[in-house]
Chains A and B, each alone.
Chain A
Amino acid sequence: MLAAAALLLLGACKKTHTPPTRPADNLANIARFELDDKESLRRYCQTEGLKECSAVERLAAAEAAIRELHAEQVTEQQEAVERVLEVLKAPDETPVMRVTAVPLEPDTWSSKDQEVAAVLEVRSEMERGLSAMGDETLSTLRKALGDLKKLHEGHVEAFDALKDDAPKSFIVPADILKERAPAMVSASVVEGTASFKILTAALEDQEFERVQPWVAVVSFVITDDGLPFRSIDDHELRLPPAITVALSDSSLTITERKPKAGKTEVSSTVPVAAVCDTLRGEIRYRRADEPLRLQASFKPIEKDSGGDR
């Protein structure tokens, strides 16, 4: 009876480090044996003097230690990624732009009812994206990225060391390997591009939403009854975002806008009469997902009720 129990134990313990071999091709559909459940294995292995059980315990301990370390590292890296993303959320200031009206040529007009082309020159100067997001943003981002890189390097070192300490037959569980697959962090700033690896698990479930880029609304404006800023016509200029951030489960890519100066022209047809109503060029900024605030004015329509009496 005891012998039978010992044999049973041996069989059970052996199974843990001698996995069933792959069936031959002609047995491909045969059902495999199931592994003993861990709890029953633990109870049997409490019997002293079973060296196979000691091996099992060492493997189990190694796996537990690896899992614990991995979980800690994932948490730390997730927090470090969050710090990077937090820096990237800083809103950018409105661009620096100036509108200048090209002088009209009244000598060429022939009627007060005609419409003429009017041109506005728009000069813009956009500083580098990270500077537009605040004076400290560049240095803070550099530090956050540097911290993340160092953290990962330290994590790899610590993980490898722990793995080396494990029994030779120890294999890192597949789920951990999957989570430790490298994910790329890449930052392309004015000074150059840098990239490094972090754990894939550090990017999982991360969410990032940045303010929408600015849109410059360049308008021909007059002052009308009760409406100080009535637009005759407007033009929208979509401005490049300060930074673009592409976040997926396997990569985080940050691209900074380079500084840029530019000049463009917008043209509209305006009624000559409007020129006398303080026609001018104005510029306003709005986020791409927000409209400009408007004001309404209501005026009774005067109808000609004379008819042909």
Chain B
Amino acid sequence: MIHAITMIALTGVATAAPAPGKQLAEHRQAEAYQASMDQRESNAIAAVTNGESLTEALAASLLQAQAEDGEFKSTDDGYQYTVSVGWDSSGSIRSMLSKVESALGSATKGENFCFSDGDDVRGEVTVADNMADAFLSQLGVSRASIEPRDQIIGSIKDEPVALNTSTMGSLLFAGVLDALDGRRSGASLRLTLYAPKPLVADDADDILRLTTKKNRVIELPVEIIGDVAKLDPEALKEARWRITGTRREIPVDLGYSVQRALFTTALKTGAARLDDLSKEVIYPVHRQQVALPEQQMHLLGDRNAWYGMEKMSAKASVLTQRTTGDCDVELTFSTRTTDVVVGPLPTAAWPLIKTFKLIDPARTATSLAYLDEPAEGRDPGGISNPDFDERLTRAGRCTAACAAVPGVYEQRMAAARAAWLAEAKELSKDGEVDESAYEAPRYKYAETFEPKSCTEVCNASRGYAECIEDVVREQRDFLRNLDICEAKSPRR
């Protein structure tokens, strides 16, 4: 950005009265506008991709997992099956691209981006020039990484070399390009190494000194292998390349592979040659790997019977390159097969499995349900719920009711005797009563009541159970009602 401001200032000096303040304000405005456009684009694309990166979303739409073949392996717990999962480009990328296009706003002119599976272009989108950089950035690619570059192919001592800014540095590469200007393909260049000071340091230190056990010293002259190690760094700073036919002097920089190769030769002879030089334009390929959505492999049988699920993950390679054809930029998506191990499952299970269905759980929901109908409803005991519940609790109720009867019976008999005594005393002249004349009330069946027998009959007869319970609970006309219960007892 500082560079850009400097340019504006220089332009101003050359043309009219400078107004740097105004120009700076305009520049900042333009910069803010571009930032807001980039942000707007970023938000719009994020909405289309549901939070995934655009490249991931495109790869996920285009590449579809398919179970291909596999092989069985025997284990102690049954058979394992290793399924080979391949990825084909049968998915639709167009709907996503049209969403992207509408999110970015339609553009008839601009950069044309193509999306390919390696064989065919599966979708295109045209992005306005002012949005192209941001769009590339959304795709995970910087413009600089794919811009076409000049390159020179040549050889050093018959060894082929590619000459470009990364192999020989921008200064020397520019110098070589200038020197080749106007020359035919296959030309040669001579580079002379100029150094004001000796490049190779004093060899005095290159002596190997050994001390024997008897403290005798042996000194041997040795040659240190590796030219750079012997170089004088200070002298190297002042070393220059001179390209024959030009007047340029270019600092030597041994950080570049081609310069090191040239330097090795030139150190011995003072110069080096670049032969068979020809210019070409290269289109760099930007490589990235994106995670494909985690896949679920469902093991299905007839009627979608479900026998289990395995998870798998994979990555896709995305190559981005400028092209000279209809596409300004082409992105190519590809991936490798992935092995998924299923099982081990029991031997009997495998014939039931008919399909390996692969789904992306983020895009497809899986629901599981029972395959079979419910068990046929059968009536416990063949009776209604109220009858069942009554039967279930009867034993406890019978035990309690039958156990309570003797106590109540005794109370009622005692009460009857007391009532007779009171009445008899009242009727007698002197209040004296012959208690032996008392006759207890006669209840034919109640007199022989036995709790054990009561409980047995109660458990076997709902009618008797309800009768006894009622007698104990209500206690109204207890003795008579108890007699009625006993009279109606099914065991009698």
List the interface of chain A (C-beta within 8 A of B).
94, 96-100, 121, 123-125, 219, 221, 224-225, 227-231, 261-263, 282-285, 292-301, 303, 305-309
Please tell me if the beta carbons of A293 and B372 are within 8 angstroms of each other in the complex.
yes
Taken together as a complex, chains A and B put the C-alpha atoms of A108 and B103 apart, in Å, by 47
A to B CB contacts below 8 Å, 28 in the list: A96-B379, A96-B380, A97-B380, A98-B379, A99-B377, A224-B369, A227-B367, A230-B368, A230-B369, A231-B370, A261-B381, A261-B392, A284-B375, A285-B375, A294-B305, A294-B369, A295-B303, A295-B369, A296-B298, A298-B298, A298-B366, A301-B365, A303-B50, A305-B47, A305-B99, A308-B47, A309-B44, A309-B47
Decide: A292 near B389, CB < 8 A? Known: A97-B380, A307-B44, A309-B103.
Answer: no
Chain A residue with the shortest CB-CB distance to B302: A295
With a cutoff of 8 Å between Cβ atoms, the chain B residues found around residue A227 in the complex are 367, 369
Once the chains are docked, how many angstroms separate the CA of A224 from the CA of B96?
A: 30
A228 CA / B44 CA spacing, docked (Å):
41
CB of B256 closer than 8 Å to a CB of A: no
**Nearest CB of chain A from residue B43's CB, rounded to whole Å:** 7
Most buried by A among B103, B363, B374, B389: B374
Query: Are A294's CB and B368's CB within 8 A?
Result: yes
A229 to B305, CA, bound (A): 13
Interface presence of B277 (CB below 8 A): no
Please give, as numbers and ranges, the residues of chain B lying within 8 Å of A284 by CB-CB distance.
370, 372, 374-375
Dominant SS at the B interface? Answer: mixed
A126 → chain B, closest Cβ, in Å? 9
A292 to B392, CA, bound (A): 30
Q: A229-B370, A307-B103, A309-B103 are in contact. Are A298 and B365 (CB under 8 A)?
A: yes
Q: Nearest-CB distance from A58 to chain B (Å)?
A: 55
CB-CB under 8 A from A306, the residues of chain B are: 47
Residues of B within 8 A of A296 (CB): 298, 300, 304, 306, 357, 366-368
B359 within 8 A of partner (CB):
yes
Partner of A98, one of B103, B366, B367, B378: B378
A297-B304, A299-B365, A300-B363 known, 5 other contacts, Cβ within 8 Å: A94-B375, A293-B372, A294-B306, A297-B368, A307-B44
Closest to A309 in B: B44
Which residues of chain A are near B44, meaning CB under 8 Å?
Answer: 307, 309
In the bound assembly, the distance between CA atoms of A295 and B392 in angstroms comes to 38
CB closest residue in chain A, given B363:
A301
Q: How far is it, in angstroms, between the C-alpha of A100 and the C-alpha of B43 when the chains are bound?
A: 54
Residue ID in chain A nearest B381 by CB atoms:
A125
User: CA A224 – CA B369 in complex, angstroms?
Assistant: 9
Q: Report B284-306 CB contacts with A as 1/0, cut-off 8 Å.
A: 00000000000000101001111
Evaluate whether A221 and B380 lie within 8 angstroms (CB atoms) in the complex, with A121-B385, A293-B305, A305-B48 already known. no
Residue interface bits B375-419, CB-to-A below 8 A is 1, else 0: 101111100010011011000000000000000000000000000
Interface residues of B in 34-56 (CB under 8 A from A): 43-44, 46-48, 50
State how many angstroms separate the Cβ of A19 from the closest Cβ of chain B.
50
Q: How far is the CA of A230 from the CA of B304 in the complex (A)?
A: 14
- When chains A and B are docked, how far (Å) is the Cα of A88 from the Cα of B385? 34
Given that A261-B391, A301-B362 are known contacts, is A98 also in contact with B372, CB under 8 Å in the complex?
A: no
Give CA–CA (A148, B44) in the complex, Å: 85
Q: Closest CB of chain B to A132's CB: distance in Å?
A: 13
**Inter-subunit contact A262/B392 (CB<8 Å):** yes
A221 contacts across to B, CB distance below 8 A: 370, 374
When the two chains form their complex, are residues A295 and B377 in contact, meaning their CB atoms are under 8 A apart? no
Contact A261/B380 with A94-B375, A307-B44 known, Cβ cut-off 8 Å:
yes
| Residues from 339 to 358 in B contacting A, C-beta threshold 8 Å | 357
With an 8 A cutoff between CB atoms, is B219 at the interface? Answer: no
Q: Which bucket holds chain B's interface residue count?
A: 35 or more
B50 — which chain A residues lie within 8 A by C-beta?
303, 305
Q: Given A98-B379, A123-B388, A295-B306, are A230 and B372 neighbors across the interface (CB < 8 Å)? A: no
A124 to B392 Cα, complex, angstroms: 10
Docked-complex contact A229 and B373, CB < 8 angstroms: yes
Counting chain B CB atoms within 10 Å of each CB, which of A94, A231, A261 scores highest? A261
B381 contacts which chain A residues (CB < 8 A)?
125, 261
Smallest CB–CB gap between B322 and chain A, Å?
Answer: 30
A117 → chain B, closest Cβ, in Å?
Answer: 20
Q: Enumerate chain B residues within 8 angstroms of A125, measured Cβ to Cβ.
A: 380-381
Please give, as numbers and ranges, the residues of chain A lying within 8 Å of B436 by CB-CB distance: none
**Residue B374 contacts which of A224, A225, A229 (CB distance < 8 angstroms)?**
A229
**Residue on B nearest A100 in the bound complex, by CB:** B385
Closest CB-CB distance, A27 to chain B, in whole Å? 54
Interface residues of B in 231-289 (CB under 8 A from A): none
Q: Is the CB of A308 within 8 A of B305?
A: no
B380 touches A123 (CB 8 A): yes
B371 within 8 A of A: yes
Q: Does B364 count as interface, using CB distance less than 8 angstroms?
A: yes
Contact A263 B388 (CB under 8 A): yes
A94 to B365, CA, bound (A): 35
Assembly CA distance A300 to B374 (angstroms): 28
A303's closest neighbor in chain B, by CB?
A: B50
Q: 7 closest pairs, A vs B, by CB?
A: A307-B47, A125-B380, A282-B374, A227-B369, A229-B370, A230-B369, A293-B371
Alpha-carbon gap, A231 to B369, bound state (A): 6
Q: Smallest distance from the beta carbon of B353 to chain A beta carbons, Å?
A: 12
Q: B298 — which chain A residues lie within 8 A by C-beta? A: 296, 298
Residues of A near B43 (CB, < 8 A) are: 307-308
Known A305-B99, A307-B43: A261·B370 in contact at CB below 8 Å: no
Name the CB-closest residue of A to B361.
A301
Q: Which residues of B contact A99 (CB under 8 A)?
A: 377
CA distance A307 to B44 in the complex (A): 7
CB distance from A230 to the nearest CB of B (A): 4
Q: Contact between B380 and A124 (Cβ–Cβ < 8 Å)?
A: yes
Best-buried of A121, A261, A283, A293 by chain B (most CB within 10 Å): A293
Find chain A residues with CB under 8 A from B377 CB: 98-99, 283
Q: Which residues of A contact B103 (CB under 8 A)?
A: 307, 309
CA distance A228 to B367 in the complex (A): 12
Task: Please tell me which one of the listed residues B48, B304, B364, B367 contacts residue A300 in the complex, with CB atoms under 8 A apart.
Answer: B364
**Do the beta carbons of A297 and B380 come within 8 Å of each other?**
no
Q: Which residues of chain A come closer than 8 Å to B357, judged between CB atoms? A: 296, 298
Cβ–Cβ contact B378 & A295, under 8 A: no
| Chain B residues positioned under 8 Å from A297 (CB to CB) | 304, 366-369
A231 to B306, CA, bound (A): 15
Inter-chain CA distance A305–B96, complex, in Å, is: 10
- The chain A residue with its CB closest to the CB of B373 is A229
Is A295 within 8 A of B363, CB to CB?
A: no
Flag B303-316 by CB within 8 Å of A: 1 or 0 each. Answer: 11110000000000
> Which B residues touch A305, using CB under 8 A?
47-48, 50, 99
Contacts of A98 in B (CB 8 A): 377-380, 385
Instruction: Please give, as numbers and ranges, the residues of chain A lying within 8 Å of B303 by CB-CB distance.
Output: 295
Report chain B residues within 8 Å CB of A261.
380-381, 388, 391-392
Whole-angstrom distance between the alpha carbons of A293 and B375 in the complex?
Answer: 13
